[in-house]
Each structure stands twice: as C-alpha cells, then as structure tokens.
Chains A and B, each alone.
Chain A
Amino acid sequence: MLAAIGVGSLQEIFERQIPAPVRLGRELDLPDGLPEQDVYEHLRALAQRNTSAEDELSFLGAGMYDHYVPALIDMLMERSEFLTPYTPYQPEISQGGLQVMFEYQTAISELTALPVSNASVYEGPSAVAAAGYLAKLHNDGRTFVVSAGMHPHTIETLRTYAHGFGMDVVEVPLRDGVTDPDAWARAMDADTSAAIFAQPNFYGAVEDAAALSASVRTAVAASFGAEGAGFAAPSDPVVICQVDPITLGVLKAPGECGVDVAVGEGQSLGNRLDFGGPSFGIFAAREEYLRRMPGRIAGETVDVDGRRGFVLTLQTREQHIRREKATSNICTSQALNALAGVVFLTWLGRRGIVELGELLLARTHYAREALAALPGIEKLHEQPVIRELALRLDADVAAVKRRCAQQGVNPGVDVHALSGREEDRGVLLVAVTERRTRADIDRLAEALGAAVAAERQTAGARQTAVTV
C-alpha cells in the first residue's frame, strides 16, 4: 500500500502533513487496550453498581418513565439494516429508513392531530427550545411566556437557547396545580413570540389546554389594542404545547385544543431509560409552519418508472443546503429511537393506546387516593392526573427516600432537589406506569407511610429535645 502511495513509511505521510510542533510526540495517557471479554466484564461490573428499575420497585418519572418495551422493538432495532446506515442521503438505497420516517410522521400527526411532523429532534426539552426558535423566525417577537408547570430542565434549556438568539423568558406561576389563567393572560403582550405550556404539566396535572391556547390570542390582541395603536398588525404568537405522547389516547389532542406546535419527549414510546438518553423529541405543527420546521422530513414521490418512493424533502430548510439561513442547525437526530417509537405505536394500535391510557389513569388515581390517605401526606393539587402525581410530605423527602430504599422501594422524585424552588420543598413526584401493579402501589403505600411516620417522629423528638 505504501508503494502505491509513493511513500517510504507511514510516518512519512504524517510528517509531510502535520507540522512537528503540533504532532503529539508521546503516547496518549490512556489504559492499554483489552480483549472483548475483558471489556465486557469491566462494563458489567460497572453496570452492577447501578440500581436500575430491575433492582427496586421504582416510581421515578419526571420526564422519563419505566414503561414496558416489547421484545420486537429490540429485535428490529438490532437489525443491521436499521442500526448501521447513515442519514438517507441516497434515497434509492434507503427506502426502508425513509418509509419508517414517513410512517413515524403519520403516527405523530395522528397522535397530535396536527398535519405536519418532522422525523424527530433530539429529545424533549431541546425540542421546546427548537420550537421557540421557530416562533422567533415566524414572528420576530421578543419574549417567550412559559408556564411554571414546565419541567425545570425544559425551562433551563429554553433559557440557554433564548439567551443565544436574544429572547427573554417570562414565567407564569401555577395556581391550584395548573397554570394560573389570569396571570397567563396578563403575561401576553405585543412582544410575545411564543406561549409555552406542558400537558400534563410537570406536577402531573392536566391543564385546560384549549382555554390556555385561546387566551393567548385574545390577550395578545387585547394588549395590542391598548398599546399598539398605529401599528400595522398584531404579532402572531405561536402556541407551543409540550405533550407526553403516551397520554394522547385519552387526552384531547393538541391540534384539537388550538395549539400551533406540539413538541415533547418521546421516550415513553418504546424507548428505554438509558440513564436519560438517547431517546427522541417529537415536533409537530400546523401546516403554515411546515417550511420553518427543524430537522429531517420524509416525503412521498415517484421514481422514473412511476414506482412509489420516499425522499428527504424540503431540504432547503436545512443546514447542509441553506447554511446560515437554515431554520435550525440540527443534522444527526434520533432516527433509530423514532423507529422504536413508531413500532411501539403500531404495537399498541388504535385500541391499545386508549386502553393503556385508561389503565394509567385508573392506577394513578388509585395511587393518589391511597397515598394521600396516609398521615403526613397530602395531594399537592386536586387536578386530574394520568400517569404521575405530586404529593406534599410533612417530612424531609430525601430522608424519606432513604428509608424507603431500605425496603427496596424508590417512591419517586424529590422535586426540590431537581428544581431548587423553595415552594417545591417536601414535594414528591410519583410516576405510575403500566409496569406498577396494584400490589406494587400497595407496597409503596406501606413503605412511604412508614417512612413518613418515622421521619415525623424523629423530627418531633428533635423538636421536643430543643424545647426541653
């Protein structure tokens, strides 16, 4: 090979190209390589030091959920034909992947009742930020009005992005567990680029999505009437809803609630937890936003023989064609995870998505009533819940979690530890997936009740000691 190249040694190739001062004149300071089986044993030993949902009775949620992933998804995702190709730049030999994207888009459009969907973005919170960027491109407004019922990671992510493209983020507080409708309406003005809320919200509550959407336009138009005399037209705020797709068999779809753009975390659709990723982000919208969508979109067409086929379409939105004028910088997204999503939805089917939603509704309701009946535990709010519920404990949540762990139970997420908000002190967020049976919920109630009682007793004793 060297002779064909016309060099005397491999070193010569590098010496002729990389100047000596920037050549690394030593070995990398890394361990030696290992045979496959040793790497396996090392990784297995590391994995064993993690307590997974396999090892405890887990009610952790807050953005990612331990739903069941059917075996056929593993099998399909491991197929070389899906696992190992690149983005389908050569459609003639990528019809499989392109058709999966097309089917995925169809499924997401059906779920959200919105006519256009892309083929996926990275994940939930950054999908919200990407929708914010779409709003900025759409109306060049100055502020994002967001409900405090968004996941804290989502608000943080949106703030990170918004600082880059020069937008402000205004938070609207909750009242009775849901976005305060009066504060929401008051927050809208002629500068509002997008109004963003989550359904269900971070605290598990079902929001009145239709009312929130409607009031955005009314409020913006009204505020414009007040301040904007002489301007040509009111701004056109984009209503963005972060959805959890697994609830959309029972919950009214965003497209039926006046939402313009629906985004969300897709993990609950057939993706594993993976300590937080990779999963995929949903991005669907009304027709008018099609040419401002980020990411890949597969479209139907025909070949020269008239055969039906699929291609990546509307690529003039994308970075590799439009460069600095692109509607997003996204390139690689989450095709394989979106495949798991569409296979999962197909597996659930038209009836299954409703049945599963109703089961989650029933079990979550049961869990909330059972847990809130315990001394020292109350509901955070009375709003309807579907797959997650929030409780206020009269005890330190971290200490309660430690006690439950001794019983092999992980009762949920310590919200204050996640959000850092003072009002979240004592709040426990409990996720109930279809993998958690009534017996599991009863076991949780037993462990949580005992832990809270024990902590209150300890705290009481401490209090007494201080008084004495």
Chain B
Amino acid sequence: MSPIDENHLHADPGIEAHHPHASAPCAPAPPLQREAARTIFQKGAPGRRAFVCPELDVPHVDVGELLPERFRRRQPPRLPEVSEPEIVRHYVGISKRNYDLDSGFYPLGSCTMKHNPRLHERVAALPGNARLHPLQDAERAQGALELMWSLQEALAEISGLPHVSLQPSAGSHGELAGLLVTRAYHEERGETRHRVLTPDTAHGTNPATVTMAGFEVVKLATNADGGVDIDDLRAKADADVACLMLTNPNTLGLFDPNIAEIAEIVHGVGATLYYDGANLNAVMGLSRPGDMGFDIVHFNLHKSFTQPHGGGGPGSGPIAVSERVAPFLPVPVVGQREDGTYELDFGSGRVGSRTIGRLRGFHGNYGCFVRSYAYIRSLGRDGLRDVSETAVLNANYLLARLRQHGVVEHLPLAYGELCMHEFVLSGGPMKKELKIKTLDLAKRLLDFGFHPPTVYFPLLVDEALMVEPTETETKETLDAFADAVAAILREAAEDPEIALGAPYSTPVRRLDEVAAAKTPIIREVIA
C-alpha cells in the first residue's frame, strides 16, 4: 500500500485515536486545513481595502444630479473590507482544502477527468483572445472566426455529422438545443409529437431536458447485456415519439451492438436519434455517431476535449447535426466565404435557415473553443484515436485488476465482460457480506489519497460504482488504485467500522447533508 505523500491534503494525526486498528496511512496535517472555516466576510476591518479607484478626471457633478435620489442605493452592499494580501492568503488557504486533478487520480465515471495541458491556458489568455469583444466586426476578428470554423470542421469530422453549432454552454444546454431542433423538425412537417424515449441508464440531464423542452419522458428498459431492450423499444416507438436520446457507449461503459437496428426502428417511426456525447472519449477516430445513424450529437468540450472543469464549470456543449435537421440549427454559425475569409452566418443558406434561435448571448464559450482547438491540433488524427484507444485500454486494465481475488467477490462487474472507457461495478455483495456500502468505500478511498469514482449511478445497478480512469493515467496509478480498493475490502472484512466512519484524514469528515437541506444556510451572517 502506497502511503499518501506528506504534502497531500488528507492527513490527520488524530486517526490513530479514532481507530487504532486502521491500516490507513497517516502523516502530520498542515494546521491550515483543519482551521475552523472562516469566510472572507468574517475577516478584515472597517476601512481596509485592496482597490484603489482611478481618479475622477472629469468635472465633478453631484451624484444627485446624475441619478435621482429615488434610484439610488442608500446602504452599500456589505462586501468584505480586506487588503490584497488578506485576499490572497484567504483564497490560497481555502484552495488547499480542495482535492484536484493535478494532485491525483480522479476516476469519476462519465466525467472524463483527463489532464489539462497548460498550453491551453496560455493561448486562451493571449490578449487577441482574452480581450476580444464579441461584437467586434467580423473583419477585425478573423483569427477568432477561423478558429471557430476550424473547430466546427473538426467536430463534424469526429462525429460524422456535417453541421455544427458551437453555441450551447455545456452538455445539458446542448441537449436542450438538440430537443428544440427536434421539436422544430417535427413542427415543420406539421406534426406535434409529445414523447421522448430515454433508457433507464441515461444521465439525469436527459430526462430533465426532455421536460424543459416540453416533452414527456418515456423510459426504456435495459436488456441483460446492458444495452437497450429492443422489444421494449419496438413496443414504445410510435408516431408520438419525437426522439430517442442515447449515450453510446452507454453509462455502463458498454457499446450497444444493436445500434444499427435501434437507429432503424427510431427512424422508422419518423423520430430523431440523439447522441449524448458525454462518453465520446471512448470512440474518437474509432466509430462515429453519424455513421451509427444519429441525427444530433452534443460534445462536452470540458470532457473529451480537456477543458479544465474549474470545480463545476465553465463547460461548452456544441452540437453537430445531420442534413435532415440542419435548417433548425441554433445561429450564428461560422461560415467561410468564397474568398476564404470568415463570417458569422445567421441562416443565409439552408443551415440555420429555420433556426430555433439563440440559446444564449453572443457565440458560445469561445475561451473553451480555444483550448479544445489547441488540443485537437496538438493531437491530430493519430493522437485523437490514441486517446480513445488508451482510455479503453486503461479502463479494461483497471477492470481486470479489480477482478482479482478478494475484490471481485464483493464488487462484481455489473454488466458485460470487457468495457469501453469506463465500467460499472456493483457494491451489492460488498454491502451484504462486508457490511459496508459503496458510499463507505468511496469515503475510505479519500483517506488513501484518491478521488472516488462516481457512486450510485447508473440507478439500475445496485450500489453502483462507476469508474473512468481516462487515458492520461499511468499503469502505476491504476495499480495503486486497485491496491487501495483491495486493502479497503480486506480492512472491512476485519472491521467494517473503519470504513463506516471514514474519512479521517480530510479537512472535514462526513458532513450532515440532511441538516443542511432541512434548514438551509446558504449565505454568511454579516456582522
């Protein structure tokens, strides 16, 4: 068992006191991390400040003359009163209470936590990008428009669907765009369809989007192999179905071998087939949604194309569509003129001509486009295929390691034999035999210095543990993780209380989420 290193945030000298038998590593904790949490609103002193206002260089006019009294704020907002050094200490201090991808393994299933090359931050920060106003004339933003056009072209090639809108802000925003495109497509043909099919393995955003787009969710069952239950699909696919939303490979990490048949059934009733691109990292350069029969795809640039996650965004969720639904694409898209220059196109040709409209201001999260474009250019055609091949190799290797004696009995693979870029284990036997739940395993992993996998998803797997290692992890890391899981299970066999009480070494231990929801305290009390 590899002990966590001393700089790591997880460390508690008190662990021995908690559990004398615990085999977990322990190291001295830097005192900062266990300091009682104090917010910036509890620091500072009246009159203290960081900002120095530029001088008033225009003639002084009484504020009352510029802004009538009834529009004016009397009590200024009670923002903090702190100096710059205090701000830096405060935020650097609390940053150390975060675990992050640069510090260690982060195998969150369906989240694709791959390395974020720092080149991307550098190029996004170039003044020509960072200080470029979105309403700059096209003639004076040709570099940005060329970049967007090139990204559209690359995403079209990767997905096998010809037309791309970069506008959606994240995956779920792309889903909304896709379903509104679907609605417009049916309306154009004079049809009002009410239902959207989603498998019971779908990401939660799928059914939530269905409702927001004004449709009704119809769940599809999963067959014994972990794919779409074809009989159930045949039974439910009818002329009232607008769309089937699918992830392939799905959230069990399995590629649905019946995809061609599924597409045929869906198209047979006139519905569209929507591809949730959260799992695209498994198939880049290997298989394309467009070739599988999908009409609409969203990409998660913050997953497959390595935008840093920022603790919960920003993301970017472009969509690619087939010719069939291209007139309804959100605008603007970037077009190339005959002379080779670029323009924002608001539906001058067939694409976007019957657009659903905008989904947000301006052109989308351009800063994310810069990073993902840099990524695609760095890797190129071979590199992108290598990404997916290595992601799948890593997942299968880790899966094989977790099928070792001592683990597989307690945490069996839920479906299938091999997997694509991720896999789902069931903690059901572990719960029954070792008396610890998936949640406890996850919390104990924190003491071993790992971010746990996604837990309790997909919902149809009992005590699910969904593991996505990504291509940027080494064999050594995968081995260490497998060893940690094995060690926790061994430990639980001796004394389940250790895992039940975990974690011990983190800045805080298990938190009372029930109390937080019952009596919500969602802002600081300001003195």
Contacts and interface: CB of A to CB of B under 8 A. Distances in A.
Real binding pair: yes
B182 to A, nearest CB: 10
A77 B99 CA distance: 15
Interface in B37-58: 37, 39-41, 47-51, 53-54, 56-58
A351 B257 CA distance: 63
B95 interface: yes
A309 B176 contact: no
Contact of B143 (A33, A49, A79, A316): A49
Interface residues of B, number: 197
B315 A332 contact: yes
A14 B94 CA distance: 44
B524 A319 contact: no
Nearest to A83: B308
Given A102-B524, A126-B360, A326-B211, A253 B157 contact: no
A274 B132 contact: yes
Interface stretch (A157-165, A187-195, A450-458): A157-165
Interface stretch (B266-274, B281-289, B407-415): B281-289
A230 interface: no
Interface string A56-91: 001010111010001010111011111111111111
Contact of A60 (B116, B133, B507): B133
B494 interface: no
A93 interface: yes
Contacts of B136: 50-52, 60, 275, 410
A110 B73 CA distance: 12
A354 interface: yes
A313 interface: yes
A311 B154 CA distance: 39
Interface residues of A, number: 200
A36 B58 contact: no
Interface string B356-383: 1111111111111010011011111111
Contacts of A106: 39, 41, 523-524, 526
Contacts of B517: 299, 313-316
Contact of A359 (B39, B54, B211, B510): B54
A273 B157 contact: no
A346 B211 contact: no
A242 to B, nearest CB: 11
A331 B396 contact: no
Nearest to A274: B367
Contact of A333 (B170, B176, B356, B361): B170
A86 B113 contact: yes
A460 B142 CA distance: 34
B190 interface: no
Interface in B285-308: 285-288, 291-292, 300, 302, 308
Contacts of A275: 129, 132-134, 136, 141, 144, 362-363, 366-367
A13 B282 CA distance: 12
9 tightest A-B CB contacts, nearest first: A336-B310, A47-B128, A276-B362, A33-B380, A276-B134, A49-B143, A278-B314, A335-B312, A96-B98
Interface string B198-219: 0000011101111111100100
21 contacts: A14-B286, A27-B385, A33-B382, A43-B126, A43-B377, A54-B131, A76-B92, A84-B100, A86-B101, A86-B113, A87-B311, A93-B98, A95-B508, A111-B77, A123-B361, A133-B212, A164-B179, A276-B363, A277-B360, A332-B312, A334-B313
Interface string A349-386: 11111111011011101100000000000000000101
A99 B103 CA distance: 20
Given A84-B308, A163-B180, A299-B521, A311 B378 contact: no
Interface in B378-420: 378-385, 389, 392-393, 396-397, 399-401, 417-418, 420
Given A1-B397, A157-B358, A160-B330, 12 more contacts: A24-B288, A31-B377, A31-B380, A33-B379, A102-B523, A125-B361, A309-B508, A313-B513, A332-B170, A349-B49, A350-B79, A441-B58
A79 B373 CA distance: 22
Contact of B508 (A17, A48, A97, A303): A303
Interface string B134-169: 111100111110110000001001101000000001
Interface in A158-190: 159-161, 163-166
A422 interface: no
B337 interface: no
User: Which of A18, A95, A332 is packed against the most chain B CB atoms within 10 Å?
Assistant: A332
Contacts of B102: 80-81, 83-84
Contacts of B207: 319, 323-324, 326
Nearest to A30: B381
User: Which of A47, A55, A252 is packed against the most chain B CB atoms within 10 Å?
Assistant: A47
A218 interface: no
Contacts of A418: 135
Contact of B396 (A5, A74, A342): A5
B451 A93 contact: yes
Contact of A126 (B67, B108, B127, B359): B359
A95 B94 contact: yes
A24 B285 contact: yes
